[in-house]
Structure 1
Amino acid sequence: MADDSLYDALRRGGYEASLITTYNVYFPFYEEVVLRRLRASQCRHNVVLADARQCGASLSDTFAAPRRAGSDYTLVPMRSEAAFHPKVWLLVGKSRGLICLGSHNLTIAGFGYNREMTNWIEFDPRRDEAAVATARTVWGFIKTWLNDQQAFLPAPALEAVTSMKNHAPWLEGVSNVVADPTPLAQGTSTAPLFDQLIVHAPKSVKSIIVIGAFFDTKLQLLKALAKRWPEVRPMCGIEPATVSLPGKQLAKRQFDFRNASTLADRSGYLHAKAIFFEGRNGDHLLVSGSANPSAPAWLGGNEEAVLLRKGASARKAAEELGLLAIRECQPIAADQWASISESVAEQVAEEATRAAIVACETEIGFAAPLAAFPTIPKRCAAKVGESEPIELPIQLNKEDGMLVIPADRELRPGCTRLLFALAGGAVVEAIVHHTAMIEDLARSTQQAQFRAALQELGAESGDIAKLVSAVEKVIFDDASGAASEISDRSRRSSNQSAAQNEANLKPETLAVGMHETKKAKRHRRLLTGTDLGHLLDVLIHRLGVGLSRLDANVDSQGRTEEDRIGKDDDMEIPRNRVDDVKIASICQRKLRRLISRMKVQMDQQADPGPTVLVQLVAVLAITRELRKIEKHERWRRVHARLVDPADQRRLLDHVMVSFFGRGRDLYSRVVATLGTETFDEIARLKGLLIWLAWDCGVALDERFGISEHREAVEERIRNKAVLLELVQILSGDDISLEEARTSILSVANPGVHQAAAKWLVTCESWGRVVDEVLTRIRGDRIPPVQPSQIGSLAFATALARPRLRIVSSVSSGAVALFDFEQEIQYRPDRVSSVGLLSPEGLSAASPPSSS
């Protein structure tokens, strides 16, 4: 119907990843033709899911075996009770999608010679909600099929498939519209395809037309159609010269078979599969896809995928495809019946063909699931290029059910296949999945751009401004993708009670110090697969990746200060200092824009979700990294700052207003949506806020002299209020404390490390004192005392759950408690002061300068 091709779609561009499901695959065609076109069009991450037994047969064929699988693309052999038979193409990008669902295998014949039938749905995911719903349904089928393979495939291979969502966050989520057209799929965990079809069939059926290349011996699908609609006799269009009809004697007696050799006005093997239901009053249904008119395809056994078109569009498509013309075709003649093949259908693979196996590359060698082998292998050899196989040892890890094959680092990259010898002399070949190579391809374009900018920072010519721009794009340009991933976790925790939420934020006791918590509780991450999740992974969980060459104490030649003594630097090419000063100024402006956008995000959270919290973690993390980069010789020699201290302070003040200000309290509201579970991003946020307070020069000073200028007093009050909030939310979380400690020490110059560590210990100690006070307040063990001194701690006695605040002013008629947005005025008898004794040395605790 469509005058278009896959190559035309690729030329239009916009696709970053492809996934193909197929029964049979001719690997030379895929690798040398299709994959090359995909890569040439910037489609970097490519995945093939193919029937495991068919893959196994290809591995034993020297000419047809895959050569680039596991390094240039991901190959996943799919096991099945009968046959893994769906034919789906899914091409995705941030703003483009293409679904091809039909009858074609990934072969030269399927793409060029056969008469195939394929549904082509090309769409813009930003505008076509119905097509997005269709794509999400198809993506759900793929994940369901993958779920059935977990015992047989290593986790990195499965993760390579699901990382498709990195390139198209819109694949995940729940659609508010009905998928149109409607896809159906069959698998081990679904109802038979025929049972699903009945729900969509016309209420009153006038005729049924079936075409297909393979039937089962008992013609069970045709019998099921006849039983469900007894008043209708199904008409079957076949090509006598190529059809597989093992039940042809039954077909001659009971059903109406027509010679459809001329279908589509062209020659070629008739491999298309479809069923058209003609209904009354325009109620029609066209079903096309991978399912042959056989029992395994429709009544259970195979994995299959079909697409439903309904109403007038179904009849129009059937007419244009020539299906309605089958009524005019001649019945099968006697001589044609004699020539029809009764061979077994294509999807019944030879039992002697072993299913293909995947082994993944690990840090110590290779690993493969033990369940993938028919018996425990006796020996293993690595196939590297054209050389003789290299014997490798085998280790059995019964705890996780994996077969471990240690191998030298030098051998692993060139290994394409592992040969496993079984008892009795049989040999099983495993495709090697090179985990790191595939992970690199699986990164989205934005992730790749970010990593490229990050890698450049190790060089003297690294473009800092480009890094900040890449980060800004990741954080803000696809918030919907991050929100979609977070929403699933949020919903699971949303039913927790408000009391539990508040207790989780500010527990009843902080008596056990954070430094006393020896074992880090593992926190689950809110984000993993999206661009923003990748950004956080690099900046927080993989510190130093891409920045390993940035040593603050070495010059552009990698020499320390000691190494430079007595050396002639005439050969070093001097950098244009004016250029670096200008670059630093540009970097400041770009970071200022990033911070401004973050402030807008916080201000717009009338109904806050966790995305804003994760975005803030990313903004804080990149700010910290830039502060670390400032220590590099390149910037020190021109006295350049990449981060404006005023911008840092403005960010801190805005966070305190938005996250802890009266009436906004964004922090508590966001975390409440996540329930009682503690997520890694929350812990990182708390640690990074402590770092930001330190880097902004926030001091915990208990001295408030009556002769001081009001501005100085107000600054100390605000600083004390900042730390009062932050020490309370740390909540004994050792991950938060470790994040604060590593961040502070990474930014501080070596000369102030000791003072910086002391500042952090002081804050922690003050947190314990604050906790003791809160415990006494909640136990009604503090007698009411009217506040008499600014800077002291007090609380409003009328509140059901008292909150400690800083006294900002005292007069005979009113006491003002500090709030980040606006002071709160109380009558003196409605406020009680707290006698807070500082730990030893507390009053002198000011943050040292990082420089």
Structure 2
Amino acid sequence: MSETNDGISLLAALKGAKFDASLITTFNATLPFYEEVVLRRLQAAESRHNVVLMDSVQCARSWATPSLRPRLAGSAYALIPMAAPGAFHPKICLLASKKRCALFIGSHNLTLSGFGFNREVTTYIDVGPDADPAHKLVLSHVWSLIREWLRTQEDKLAPSVLEAAHRIGELVPQATGVESKLSDIRLLGQSNSGPSLLEQLDRAMPAMPERVVVTGAFFDTQHALLKSLEARWPGAAIKVIIDPKTVALGGRPKGLRSQFVDARELWSEQAAHYLHAKALLLDFGGSHMLVAGSANPSRPAWLGGERANFEAMLVRPNLELASSRFARDLALGFSAPAMDDSELRAIPITHQESENDDETPSAPVRIVALAAGTSKVMIPRSESEEFAEFVVHMEDGSHTAPAALERSEDREAIAELGEKAPAVRWLELSGRSGRLLRIIVHHDDALSRGVARSYRTALRDALAGLDFSGANIESLIQQIEKAIFDDPEQVVLPPSSIGRPGSSKQTTTAPVRPASLAVHIGETASTRNSRRKRLLQSGSLLEVLDALIYRLGQGLPKSAASITESQPLSEEELVGTEHEEATQEPVAPLPLQAVDAVRKRLKQVVSRMIKQLKAAQNETRPDLRVAKTRTCAVQLVAVLSLVREFRRLRHLPQWRQVGGFIDSETRQDLLSQSMVILFGRSQGIACDVRADDSEVQEFEELGQVRALLAWLAWDIGHSLLKRIEPMAQKAKKDHLVAAYAYLYELLPAIAVDEEDAMQLSSSVRMTNTPTADEGANGENWLNYHFKIGWEVATAPAAAYPDQEGIKAGDLMYVPYSNPPQFSVVIDVTAQDICLSELDRERRFTRFAWRPESQDRALLQASG
């Protein structure tokens, strides 16, 4: 890994290298510079699949200036405007191939200045086959963060455009389970949900810093970050390095303990260059921590909230100052003299709260996708209602005369491009109001040329090509069922030590509770993920599993044959129009026979899964039990993913009237049986999924099972917020207690694992009812249950004791359990208390803790 700011050059990294794909994120960009310089270098390096994610406001401003408009966007590369609550502000460059990835994380925009003239900070990580596991882990976290950002754009972008970005993930390697030599390098990432950058930094710090240096080019009007740092670190001396000539100070510094330092005095040899780097250097007395990347010292960048930026920062704890020129330069700020009040008053004030706060562009930019062989661009009614005509702009810079927009029956605008459609780059819509709308045309066939077609890609394309008729979906389920249950030999075999005479079986049925939570970059998540690997390494089941989790999870697109015809409104077009029912239903209802066939097929898949779980539990030979259990874990992930996707499909206009495909009884049976058989503390088989290899703490699929089972509990309606009334009927009380037991079993492990928490969050969001109220309810459920999971995961052994007032549904420490376990109270009297262990009940004499021989196995419902 190259140290920050030590002569790093993206263009130099491309020289003589070969990559298959690239993805660059940027706040603003000089798109002609990208096309004429960077893209040419990428193509010379054999990168045929290139994607740029750019802040949508800045993208619109680029289009307002003719000399800054791109010519090749949508054809030679995918340009995706990204909308964020504040600003889309990360600066990441990912170069990927099958054997090697190169990653740049820094402060540089995709501009000529950012690449060659400004004072920037950038970290370069080269991830090859023999790369340090910490680097692979950072790369994996970066891709997870990019996926999360892309998820927020699903209602704005065509599926084929999103797929252009997601394809790059096929080249990103999984983090290995090998012990890392640099395990403390971490990523901080901010989106519109989850903890803020500052909260994540707090979790990564070993102690309170004694001295802090901050540098950046933009501050909000209230200097909120500096005030937060002063409040959190009251004993720290804080210096802020700025360039008075170029800094956007936001407001006059008032009431601050922090002292400002003139960068021109500190780094006089670089005074002519724009100070654009963003970083913090923390001194803990015996060690230093460098935090560098895209985030300016402002509220939107660091503190989250309603106007949060999307950002990416890299944390380098225990950094030797001598190893990094940039860190050494920052360290000079510790002892540098502070600017006086007259010098501060001489700095012009911008009065901007965030990077995108100045005037809104007169013409926003949107994206459409043009399928191969078509010449009509369909523009949603919500975007095009006030526009009457359009001008077509070609690749060579020429444009046509204004032409009238046509209208579909659903009032979508239709722009007919004619025979020149393949050469069209963008459209400009206008109307009587004088407003303009610019549409970037992405050509699906051009973006897909040159992309290596693996079996997985072919499968995903085949799935995407299916239309929504009942017969085709039933065929899809049949294919997936066959791959899930009839091709299990690809699952990793159990270690050879299992089943050998004298070998001891792992008896712990629950993971050791972590000491702390760090959803994005904390010790537990990093350590755990770096020691996870897949049970499933290859085969058709892996391809179907990945397709379900990743491809279908992004939303099934329209089939190519249906694009040219008038279609009901899509999910994207439904936003803001949920109550206009009359114009959004399919014209002809689907045959009930086809819907029933899909329902029966899905019920059969669930029933077959439950039988597989029972067969694994009833296996008496230890080696076969382990093998069957591990196969079941992978199969269960696929079945739960399939259930999730059909729960999402019920919201599409084509399917809303059928009332769903999987009834609540079937879903409840799958949840209950899976929880009892897998995680029951008496005979649960989840312990057989865990590895007894010291290098592998847990297989990836077990975490996915937890996240998907927690999603299924949410989908059924289970919640820890539901009160268990003391006088409720026994059946209702037992149902709620069981739901509590399931959630308390799943949530602690999910809350402390980045990937599993992200999967639960994305599953809830993609299957939630598409209304504002239900969306808010889903977010409230996630926030509350992640909080509870964290509290249980970090609770000391003495937490949740038996005490006066304890009641059914409460959590209680299981006496003498090691590691400490907590169980849900089923019922309680003055003399004894009954606890749930999922597959049995245990009754104790209260306060004496003498286990009585009153255990009774829970009866499993017949499959």
Alpha-carbon shift at residue 171 of structure 1 (Å): 5.6
Which residue matches 1:739?
Answer: none
Q: How does 1:115-130 map to 2 (within 5 A)?
A: 115-130=119-134
Say whether 1:104 aligns with 2:108: yes
Flag as ranges the 4+ runs of structure 1 deviating above 6 A: 172-179, 517-520, 601-608, 614-617, 663-672
**Contact kept? 2:241, 2:260, Cα under 8 Å:** yes
Given candidates 423, 431, 434, the residue that maps to 1:414 is 423
Q: Secondary structure at the match of 1:183?
A: strand
Q: How does 1:624-703 map to 2 (within 5 A)?
A: 673-675=634-636, 677=639
Aligned-partner Cα distance in 2 for 1:482–1:202: 47
Which residue matches 1:388?
Answer: 400
Alpha-carbon shift at residue 162 of structure 1 (Å): 0.5
**Contact kept? 1:47, 1:73, Cα under 8 Å:** yes
Alpha-carbon shift at residue 108 of structure 1 (Å): 1.0
Alpha-carbon shift at residue 425 of structure 1 (Å): 2.1
Q: For each residue in 1:293-342, what CA deviation from the matched residue of structure 2 results, as whole angstroms up to 9, or x when unmatched?
A: 11111112211111101013478537644001113433224553243121
Aligned-partner Cα distance in 2 for 1:190–1:82: 15
Q: For each residue in 1:608-628, what CA deviation from the matched residue of structure 2 results, as whole angstroms up to 9, or x when unmatched?
A: 9583346999xxxxxxxxxxx
Say whether 1:612 aligns with 2:539: yes
Q: How does 1:721-740 map to 2 (within 5 A)?
A: none
Aligned-partner Cα distance in 1 for 2:176–2:439: 35
TM-aligned CA distance change 1:289 to 1:672, over 3 Å: closer
TM-aligned CA distance change 1:670 to 1:193, over 3 Å: closer
Aligned-partner Cα distance in 2 for 1:25–1:407: 30
Which residue matches 2:332?
Answer: 325
TM-aligned CA distance change 1:128 to 1:424, over 3 Å: same
Q: Secondary structure at the match of 1:420?
A: strand
Q: For each residue in 1:66-104, what CA deviation from the matched residue of structure 2 results, as whole angstroms up to 9, or x when unmatched?
A: 111000111000112221111111111111111111111
Say whether 1:16 aligns with 2:20: yes
Task: Kindly report the root-mean-square deviation, in angstroms, between the aligned alpha carbons of the 2 structures.
Answer: 4.0
Say whether 1:340 aligns with 2:352: no
TM-aligned CA distance change 1:422 to 1:610, over 3 Å: farther
Which residue matches 1:582?
Answer: none
Q: Secondary structure at the match of 2:24?
A: strand
Say whether 1:437 aligns with 2:441: no
Which residue matches 1:791?
Answer: none
**Contact kept? 1:134, 1:179, Cα under 8 Å:** no
Aligned-partner Cα distance in 1 for 2:202–2:139: 22
Matched to 1:356, the amino acid is V
**Contact kept? 2:391, 2:399, Cα under 8 Å:** no
Aligned-partner Cα distance in 2 for 1:395–1:13: 49
TM-aligned CA distance change 1:329 to 1:23, over 3 Å: same
Given candidates 288, 311, 316, the residue that maps to 1:309 is 316
TM-score after normalising by structure 2: 0.52
Matched to 1:674, the amino acid is Q
Which residue matches 2:238?
Answer: 234
TM-aligned CA distance change 1:526 to 1:188, over 3 Å: farther
TM-aligned CA distance change 1:240 to 1:374, over 3 Å: farther
Given candidates 256, 260, 269, the residue that maps to 2:259 is 256
Aligned-partner Cα distance in 1 for 2:214–2:164: 38
Q: Secondary structure at the match of 1:31?
A: helix
Matched to 2:313, the amino acid is V
Which residue matches 2:474?
Answer: 521
**Contact kept? 2:54, 2:88, Cα under 8 Å:** yes
Aligned-partner Cα distance in 1 for 2:640–2:234: 60
Q: For each residue in 1:263-303, what CA deviation from the matched residue of structure 2 results, as whole angstroms up to 9, or x when unmatched?
A: 38423011111111111332x32111111111111112211
Say whether 1:209 aligns with 2:217: no
Q: How does 1:42-81 map to 2 (within 5 A)?
A: 42-81=46-85
Alpha-carbon shift at residue 371 of structure 1 (Å): 8.0
Q: For each residue in 1:486-545, what CA deviation from the matched residue of structure 2 results, as whole angstroms up to 9, or x when unmatched?
A: xxxxxxxxxxxxxxxxxxxxxxxxxxxxxxx97761416999xxxxx9xxxxxxxxxxxx
Q: Secondary structure at the match of 2:539?
A: helix
What percent of counterpart residues are identical? Answer: 30
**Contact kept? 2:93, 2:104, Cα under 8 Å:** yes
Say whether 1:93 aligns with 2:97: yes
Which residue matches 1:365?
Answer: 375
TM-aligned CA distance change 1:376 to 1:137, over 3 Å: farther
Which residue matches 1:149?
Answer: 153
Which residue matches 1:278?
Answer: 283
Matched to 2:442, the amino acid is H
Alpha-carbon shift at residue 347 of structure 1 (Å): 3.7
**Contact kept? 2:15, 2:45, Cα under 8 Å:** yes
Larger Rg: 1
Select between 663-672 and 38-47 the one with higher mean Cα deviation: 663-672
Aligned-partner Cα distance in 1 for 2:174–2:358: 33
Alpha-carbon shift at residue 197 of structure 1 (Å): 1.4
Q: Where in structure 1 are there 5+ consecutive unaligned residues?
A: 448-473, 486-516, 528-532, 534-598, 618-662, 681-851
TM-aligned CA distance change 1:615 to 1:674, over 3 Å: closer
TM-aligned CA distance change 1:159 to 1:277, over 3 Å: same
**Contact kept? 1:154, 1:369, Cα under 8 Å:** no
**Contact kept? 1:165, 1:171, Cα under 8 Å:** no
Q: Secondary structure at the match of 1:410?
A: helix
**Contact kept? 1:18, 1:89, Cα under 8 Å:** yes
**Contact kept? 2:209, 2:233, Cα under 8 Å:** yes
Alpha-carbon shift at residue 379 of structure 1 (Å): 3.1
Aligned-partner Cα distance in 2 for 1:419–1:25: 21
Q: Secondary structure at the match of 2:115?
A: helix
Aligned-partner Cα distance in 1 for 2:177–2:386: 43
**Contact kept? 2:86, 2:309, Cα under 8 Å:** yes
Q: For each residue in 1:456-488, what CA deviation from the matched residue of structure 2 results, as whole angstroms up to 9, or x when unmatched?
A: xxxxxxxxxxxxxxxxxx67xxx9x999x9xxx
Alpha-carbon shift at residue 194 of structure 1 (Å): 1.4
TM-aligned CA distance change 1:247 to 1:610, over 3 Å: closer
Aligned-partner Cα distance in 1 for 2:479–2:99: 24
Which residue matches 1:379?
Answer: 389
Q: Secondary structure at the match of 2:339?
A: coil
Q: For each residue in 1:374-404, what CA deviation from the matched residue of structure 2 results, as whole angstroms up to 9, or x when unmatched?
A: 8553333422341424525444575xxx946
Q: How many residues align?
A: 494
Which residue matches 1:350?
Answer: 359
**Contact kept? 2:57, 2:356, Cα under 8 Å:** no
Aligned-partner Cα distance in 2 for 1:155–1:279: 48
Which residue matches 1:243?
Answer: 247
Aligned-partner Cα distance in 2 for 1:679–1:61: 46
